[in-house]
Amino acid sequence: MDPEQIQQITDRISQKLESKGVSPDRQSITEKLASYINEFGVVAYEAERKVLSDQLRLYDIPADEQPAAAAAPEGGVFALADIQPNDWVTIEVKVVSLQTPNSPSIAQTGVLADSSGAVRFVVFSKADGIPLMELEQWYRIESAVVDSFRDVPSLKIHSGSKVTQIDDDRSLMPAPPVPLASLSPGVAASVQVKFVEEWESRSERMLQSGLVADASGKMKFVLWKDEGREKLSLGSVYNIFYASVDTFGGRLSLALNSGVWMEDEDAEIDVPVVTAAPKEELPITSIRDLKVGYATVRVKFAEEWESRSERMLQSGLVGDETGRVKFVLWKDASKEKLVPGQVYLIKNAKVDEYNGRLSLALNSAEYSVVEDDVDIAVQGVAPTTPLPVTSVRDLAVGYASLRVKFVEEWESRSDRMLQTGLVGDETGRVKFVLWKDDTKEKLEPGRVYHVTNAKVDEYNGRLSLVLNPATYEADEPEVDIAVGTATDEFSGAVVQISGGSGLVKRCPVEGCNRVLSRQNFCPVHEIQPNFHYDLRIKGVLDDGKKAYNVLIGREVTEALTGFTMERAIDLASESPLGLEEVQAQFVEKLCGRYLRCFGNDFEGRILVKSAEFVRLDPSVTAELMNRAGSVFGGEQS
């Protein structure tokens, strides 16, 4: 695969990582992809999935669960309802929506549909020979890749794809309306909903947002400013086709810009009733026992946060002996700010849930200061004495002291942020954040620091450090600690050279690179007479305790066997056995030899980056053989 095509994959992986809040090393990603695809012959989409998985693990980002690729249906054309991430598909679809690309690397994006469903699509600018598709036209698209970004399936059309306009007349009947409770990330082919609640827009780019509902539940929607778009009418029922279903923090929402909608004046929908505020004072509830609805709490104002909206009067954390919870107080002439450190009785506050976390909205509540001599020991408040040092692997929400190395600095994405990146020790890595503060200075990349009483937060299942409440001091510049290793070492005897070793033929179609059969047949692209050769070793390495499947690419294979590609091709051409002659030579040269291999695990197989023969000491070998003979040969006379 050429560098430009590998760069397209690098861009896709980098965009996914950047959406998770990290700044990946693009050069490292490109090198790994080139190694997997060009050196080891890994199929492009498998290499992309592996590198992305490794990067997610590197940055401690939970990997999205993706189903296995599906087999092609009879006739080769997939229905959109049946496609899954990692599939290479042929589809026949109609362009139902086109959006303006938000990046120069994207030539075209929008929504495709057939009678079974709909999917987002992307055509990259580097995809040579792909025509721009027209709205409301039907197309046959071959060799497209199904990807997943933020849990949302999408179709990637690359330079190896083929796009052909379908000229025959076809009609598109949208699928029946899907209940909101049954939606999943992607594109909703059809929903019928009632506009039940309008929210104030918090962005100049936003035209409208609020809640829509049907009998199964409610869902947030967003409509961004776009030429020709008009607001929905509160209280009306709409049939909405091809809206995008996004996910954030475990919650789904509808993005209407990709869709079309029609008001249904004759329809009426019974929607869930919103919980009304209680008229009587509720009994006091502990923070630990809060639930969505309304509650009365007796809490201490533990931490004040900087307001991020002009509409917000105050926000922060309140807590009691059982835990802490965020609160928000919006600007209201009848409300006053809370005083940090004071204990309050808050009556009938609204308890909301967002991203799996509860929060208190105080505008609907009454609150008053409890007597001055009353105090509450709030769980999770910063300790007053230094905590013992813990490892990154053993971190838990609260506070912790660590000895870590600053391994990677990320670009700050907020004016309030002084610095962010990764620190780590021998057991792992963790994100840190340092907010702007006159008393704090930036950390120096590559230095080792003693960090005392850092705050440990959790968001979406991932831990991170906030250094503002902590003290940190750098070790001497020459001090260093290990933070992970690049490759693992595997040693043992070569006990098997497997079929498919030696000289192999590969499919020349971009993004494929699969090994061909003896008849030059590719399982995806059929007969390929213009194949290209490769040299490799597939085998088993046994260390006496465990056996490892190994895959050795051309460069290391040539070094171990003494065979160049040219010599292997000549040998296969001259021998009656053909390609099998090369494999037989490799068996003779390697089986029974001891190797020390350096590489990484790729789904149960070690991809060897370098290898060397293990030279055994003859005297030690002789002694071991004598001892073995003494044990198994019986007593000597």
Q: Which of 113, 130, 165 is the last residue of a domain?
A: 165
- What is the pLDDT, as a whole number, of residue 223? 92
Helix, strand, coil: what percent of the chain each, to 5?
A: 15, 40, 45
Q: Is residue 69 part of a domain?
A: no
Residue 169 has pLDDT above 80, yes or no: no
CA atoms 298, 304, 310, 313: torsion sign: positive
- What is the pLDDT, as a whole number, of residue 186? 84
- What is the pLDDT, as a whole number, of residue 636? 46
Q: Is residue 221 part of a domain?
A: yes
Question: Is 210 found in the same domain as 140?
Answer: no
Closest CA to 112 of 127, 104, 102, 122: 122
First to last CA, the chain: 68
- What is the pLDDT, as a whole number, of residue 554? 92
Q: Is residue 75 part of a domain?
A: no
- Tell me 449's DSSP state: E
Question: Is 497 found in the same domain as 463?
Answer: no
State the pLDDT confidence band at 503, using cuts at 50, 70 and 90. Answer: very high
Residue 74 has pLDDT above 70, yes or no: no
- What is the pLDDT, as a whole number, of residue 344? 93
Q: Is residue 634 part of a domain?
A: no
When pLDDT is averaged across residues 341-347 and rounded to a whole number, the result is 91
Closest CA to 96 of 112, 119, 79: 112
> Over the chain, what is the mean pLDDT?
83
- What is the pLDDT, as a whole number, of residue 630? 57
Residue 452 has pLDDT above 90, yes or no: yes
State the pLDDT confidence band at 502, using cuts at 50, 70 and 90. Answer: very high
CA 42 to centroid of chain Cα atoms:
21
Question: Is 90 found in the same domain as 37?
Answer: no
Residue 353 has pLDDT above 50, yes or no: yes
Question: Is 555 found in the same domain as 528?
Answer: yes
Question: Is 509 found in the same domain as 467?
Answer: no
Q: Looking at the DSSP assignment, which residues form a beta bridge with residue 352? A: 359
Are the C-beta atoms of residues 322 and 299 closer than 8 Å to each other? no
- What is the pLDDT, as a whole number, of residue 14? 85
**pTM tops 0.85, yes or no:** no
Residue 448 has pLDDT above 90, yes or no: yes
DSSP per position, 392-424: GGG--SEEEEEEEEEEEEE---STTEEEEEEEE
- Residue 306 lies in domain: 287-369
Q: Which of 102, 135, 165 is the last residue of a domain?
A: 165
- What is the pLDDT, as a whole number, of residue 486? 43
Question: Is 551 found in the same domain as 521?
Answer: yes
Q: Is residue 126 part of a domain?
A: yes
Question: Is 160 found in the same domain as 203?
Answer: no
- What is the pLDDT, as a whole number, of residue 69? 43
When pLDDT is averaged across residues 442-446 and rounded to a whole number, the result is 92
Structurally, the chain folds into a number of domains equal to 6
Q: Is residue 632 part of a domain?
A: no
Give the pLDDT confidence of 514-552 residue by residue, as tens digits.
888 878 888 777 788 899 999 999 999 998 888 999 999
When pLDDT is averaged across residues 599-611 and rounded to a whole number, the result is 80
Are the C-beta atoms of residues 180 and 216 closer than 8 Å to each other? yes
Phi, psi (deg, nearest 5) at residue 23:
-115, 100
Question: Is 606 found in the same domain as 534?
Answer: yes
Question: Is 242 found in the same domain as 217?
Answer: yes
Question: Is 443 found in the same domain as 364?
Answer: no
Q: Is residue 320 part of a domain?
A: yes
Question: Is 492 found in the same domain as 586?
Answer: yes
Q: Which of 141, 165, 189 is the last residue of a domain?
A: 165
Q: How many of the other CB atoms lie within 10 Å of CB of 33?
A: 23
Burial 465-487 (b: 16+ CB within 10 A, else e): bebeebebeeeeeeeeeebeeee
- H/E stretch holding 53 reads helix 44-58
Which residues, 6+ apart, have CB-to-CB distance to 176 below 8 Å? 190
Question: Is 607 found in the same domain as 494?
Answer: yes
When pLDDT is averaged across residues 345-350 and rounded to a whole number, the result is 92
Q: Is residue 276 part of a domain?
A: no
What CATH number corresponds to the domain at position 320?
2.40.50.140
Residue 273 has pLDDT above 60, yes or no: no
